[in-house]
Chain A
Amino acid sequence: MTVLVLVEVDGAEPADASARALTLARGLGDVSAVVFGPGGFGAAAPTIGAATDVYLVDPAITGGYAPAAWARTLAGLIAETGATAVLAAGTDRGNEVLAHLGAITGLPMAANCVAVTPGGDGTYRLTRHRWAGLLLEDAILEAPVALFTVATDAIAPDVPAETPAAMVHDYKSELTEGDLAVRAEESAAGGGGVSLATARVVVGGGRGVGGPDGFAPLEELAELLGGVVGVSRVVTSEGWRPHRQQVGQTGTKITPALYLACGISGAIQHVAGCAGAKHIIAINTDPGAPILSHADYAVIGDLHQIVPELVAALRAR
């Protein structure tokens, strides 16, 4: 059974979220990875995610990211390979492309799955996130071709050792003008630097930071740790920081090795965004703050004293 996986790449590697999708996909059949550009990726293709086949789609054909065109390409590959399932990471792009594929083909799509078991009779038993992962839904998917996206912060990416090289195919998809009507014109964003979604360390700031002027020590700490600053919803709705720094259900879901939550009480919508962190350390004046029941360690005290002390201690090392 062939399972197609839309793989987003980071340099010569599958992006972290795609590595998680590949991990789930390997339990469903022989993986055929589908990669849209970038040019030069070809050399890394044979080893991607333990796939048996890799389909490289020339980015010139779709003119960069064009969600409907990417979906049409996957529809063509379903026909060509006889795939029984198509997976993508539950990223903005993955969910978007698979929703287009669902709309083009009339197939249902299950978003943000954390487990999928084939039923053997063309059905799948699956568990997926609801409420951004605060709840789980057990469901049955019955469809001629199953469409899944995989939650970006649940399954740990697993890289199998020593796998045979994949067959690499250059795939030319047949697209209509309509498929290409909507596409991204890309340019460097204002933020630059390390992205919140993929940062190894995130230093979080919440209401306890006190105002827009309180973030400098957090920025300094983040820089020392090679990470970035993330914030809670109150911080962005007060206009203290731009919305793109928000961690949570309606912001970014993060998966760092360490989340250092400073002055954040831990509303469940925020926890939905940081639950994928490997370790959480809270700095909070309130020993009863909800964040403490999600944290591995906590320092009880005022972040305005502790963060500068920590910065000084790290600088002294």
Chain B
Amino acid sequence: MDILVCVKRVPTVGGKILLTEDGQQVDTRMSGFTISPHEECAVEEAVQLTERLGGSVSVLTLGTEIAIEQLRDALALGAGRAVLLDTGGSRPPGPPRETDGQEWGPIATASAIAAEVREHGYDLVLFGNEASDTGDYQVGIRVAHELGWPVATGIKDISVADGRLVARREYRGVAEAYTLPLPAVVTVKEGINLPRYPSLPGRLRAKRTQIERVPVTWQAEGLRKEQLRVPESVKHQAEILGSVPDLVRVLDELGVL
């Protein structure tokens, strides 16, 4: 089974998210970069599926060559091939910037990914349920519609037999199972597996792997970011309660007893 996993480079955020002065992006001068936990699980799921069923794992991202770092991370975990949908040609002259890939909306992103899937042919395309930065919740679904493939989202368990994939999730306390004929698109959530750590041979192989580059062209869409803001601080210092009886009194006042 040939699987494509789509990932997105995002800043590693720790104690606090800071913005650049123009409010256009997250200030990444002090942070590293990663992919979302959902996507780490998507890579792991693809590797596990091919360990069981045979086949190949390719990893894809859309961005400038800066994002090759995230492709190599996925290669070190067991992906065999990596594709950069290179946005570098459609940006202003100058060195690549972190924003070059991030400014792509979900419609343009989905259409670039769908074109790559058509070109290569896969049995399964995996995504994280949502990107941790933009949280658009739609690229996987739009890719599926462009390809005319079935799609399931928010998935916490995958099994494959007889050319069919069964995807499971839970919604408001009810278990849901979706049966999809392959090829299909599935977006997964953290919790579907526990991702492994990269091995040393994996890292070495990742370094040597040639990254395939496909130039893509940006297109405008109807939702346009104006600026980012840190929410009005609701921060306050907690009132310290000295004893359990004080705590009981507060619980009573809050009406939860």
- Specify the chain B residue showing the minimal Cβ separation from A307: B244
* C-alpha spacing A294/B13, complex, angstroms: 18
Contact of A258 (CB < 8 Å), options: B17, B230, B238, B256 = B256
The answer to the question of A255 belonging to the interface, with a C-beta cut-off of 8 Å to chain B, is no
**Are B142's CB and A243's CB within 8 A?**
no
**Are B223's CB and A110's CB within 8 A?**
yes
- Answer whether A135 and B238 are a contact pair too, CB < 8 Å, given A108-B223, A140-B224: no
- Answer whether A108 and B238 are a contact pair too, CB < 8 Å, given A132-B135, A135-B230, A188-B175: no
The answer to the question of A285 belonging to the interface, with a C-beta cut-off of 8 Å to chain B, is no
The answer to the question of A201 belonging to the interface, with a C-beta cut-off of 8 Å to chain B, is yes
- Specify the chain B residue showing the minimal Cβ separation from A312: B244
**Are A130's CB and B135's CB within 8 A?**
yes
Q: Which of A49-57, A79-87, A190-198 contacts B (4 or more CB under 8 A)?
A: A190-198
**Are B222's CB and A141's CB within 8 A?**
yes
**Are B194's CB and A239's CB within 8 A?**
yes
> What size tier do the contact residues of chain A reach?
35 or more
The answer to the question of B241 belonging to the interface, with a C-beta cut-off of 8 Å to chain A, is yes
* C-alpha spacing A143/B105, complex, angstroms: 14
Mark contacts of A112-144 with chain B using CB atoms, 8 A cut-off: 1 yes-contact digit, 0 otherwise: 100000000000000001111111111111110
**Are B156's CB and A243's CB within 8 A?**
yes
The answer to the question of B190 belonging to the interface, with a C-beta cut-off of 8 Å to chain A, is yes
**Are B256's CB and A100's CB within 8 A?**
no
**Are A131's CB and B135's CB within 8 A?**
yes
**Are B225's CB and A139's CB within 8 A?**
yes
**Are B177's CB and A249's CB within 8 A?**
no
Distance (Å) between the CB of A110 and the closest chain B CB? 5
**Are B250's CB and A185's CB within 8 A?**
no
Q: Among B36, B132, B156, B180, find the residue whose CB has the most chain A CB atoms closer than 10 A.
A: B132
Contact of A297 (CB < 8 Å), options: B26, B179, B241 = B241
**Which A residues are CB-close (under 8 A) to B175?**
186-190
* C-alpha spacing A313/B248, complex, angstroms: 8
Distance (Å) between the CB of A108 and the closest chain B CB? 4
**Are A95's CB and B137's CB within 8 A?**
yes
Number of interface residues of B (CB under 8 A): 82
- Answer whether A99 and B142 are a contact pair too, CB < 8 Å, given A250-B38, A313-B244: yes
- Specify the chain A residue showing the minimal Cβ separation from B136: A111
- Answer whether A103 and B171 are a contact pair too, CB < 8 Å, given A135-B231, A182-B178: no
**Are B172's CB and A181's CB within 8 A?**
no
Mark contacts of B207-244 with chain A using CB atoms, 8 A cut-off: 1 yes-contact digit, 0 otherwise: 00000000000000111111111110011111111101
- Specify the chain B residue showing the minimal Cβ separation from A110: B223
**Are B156's CB and A103's CB within 8 A?**
no
Mark contacts of A264-302 with chain B using CB atoms, 8 A cut-off: 1 yes-contact digit, 0 otherwise: 000111000001000111100001001011111111100
The answer to the question of B255 belonging to the interface, with a C-beta cut-off of 8 Å to chain A, is yes
**Which A residues are CB-close (under 8 A) to B70?**
none
**Are A297's CB and B238's CB within 8 A?**
yes
**Which B residues are CB-close (under 8 A) to A313?**
244-245, 248
Closest 3 CB pairs of A and B: A243-B191, A103-B145, A99-B138
A sample of 4 more A-B contacts (CB under 8 A), given A236-B191, A267-B14, A310-B247, is: A111-B130, A141-B222, A246-B190, A268-B16
Listed in ascending order, the chain A residues whose CB lies under 8 Å from chain B are: 15, 65, 67, 90, 92-93, 95-96, 98-100, 102-104, 106-112, 129-143, 149, 178, 181-193, 195, 197-198, 200-201, 225, 233, 236-237, 239, 242-244, 246, 249-251, 257-258, 267-269, 275, 279-282, 287, 290, 292-300, 306, 309-310, 313-314, 317
Listed by A's residue number, 8 A-B pairs whose Cβ atoms lie within 8 Å are A93-B171, A96-B154, A130-B133, A131-B133, A189-B170, A190-B175, A268-B17, A269-B13
